[in-house]
Amino acid sequence: MSLLSIVIPAYNEGALIANTAKVVAGIMDQNGIEYEMIFVNDGSKDTTWEEIEQAHNDNAKVRGVCFSRNFGKEGAVFAGLEHAKGDCCVVMDCDLQHPPETIVEMYRLWEQGYEVVEGVKASRGKESLIHKMFVKMFYGMMSGSTGVDMSRASDFKLLDRKAVDAFIALPERHVFFRALSSWVGFKTTSVEFDVQERQQGQSKWSFRSLFRYAVTNVTSFSTAPMQIVMGCGVVVFVFSVIFAIYSVVKWFMGYSLEGFTTVIILLLFIGSVLMFGLGIIGYYIAKIYEEVKRRPRYIVTTTTDEEETK
């Protein structure tokens, strides 16, 4: 029987581990799916790792990977996929906002021959207006720059072993799983799901962390910010040509421009565009610097497999 690996990144989710492991295991057993569950402790500061160890003791099909520090969700997803042994792998959130019942539907589609099954959001659940606007802007930029519709995309998806191996083989250090898992191609379909409410606790994503996450992923997967700088340069050039023509016409008509205020405004505007452009270029150079250092995506201190062999 085919083995399904379920990868679950966890950061300060100690209160949720036991329930998540129990719920997911119950659904898999009920539907006769052979599975393993891989929790990745992303440098949590609470009892997340202890809860993962306890879940492993209660159910041998639950495995755990523990990071030396917080490396971020993308690193945790990558580690889970690298440690997975299954013929196909599902990535889902620990808070059960990704309904585990949908995994069964994804698995059945995989059995029909699909190699990537995308979980797309039919609804986003309860979100603030600012959060919705920010998300819409972010995915609009990603969709426009990559040519892939990401308006309802999520990290909740199933990958065949071939797709997993292709994803793991990608050389870049900074990966954007949500986009790259689509970029690798293969025979793809999708299933819709409604985002569920968290079982306990609060989301670990603040507006600041979401903004940093968005900037990191846009620059790691897209050159859209560079194109924006070029667009600003074109706008400034067109504006300069128009103003130059206006100035020449006024000069031929015998009028002199009262230029001090105009010059100050133009200098501030052009200077702002230049500094904005240099900032974006500098950020891309910093990303190149981080990539060429070839540091590991994550560092593992221990796994439940290692503890069993001690």
- pLDDT tens-digit profile, the chain (310 residues): 688 999 999 888 888 888 888 888 888 888 888 999 999 998 888 888 888 888 888 888 888 899 988 888 888 888 888 888 888 999 888 888 888 888 888 889 888 888 888 887 776 555 566 666 666 666 666 666 555 566 566 778 888 888 888 888 877 777 777 766 666 777 878 787 777 665 555 555 555 655 666 666 666 666 666 667 777 777 777 777 777 677 777 667 766 555 556 676 677 677 777 777 777 777 778 777 777 777 788 888 888 876 555 5
pTM score, whole prediction: 0.68
- The rounded distance, in Å, linking the Cα atoms of 175 and 72 is 11
Residue 91's φ and ψ, nearest 5 degrees, are -110, 130
Q: Which residues of 166-193 are buried (b: 16+ CB within 10 A; e: fewer)?
A: bbeeeeebbbbbbbbbbebeeeeebbeb
193 within 8 A of 100, measured Cβ to Cβ: no
Q: Give the number of C-alpha atoms closer than 13 A to the C-alpha of residue 248, restricted to the C-beta side.
A: 6
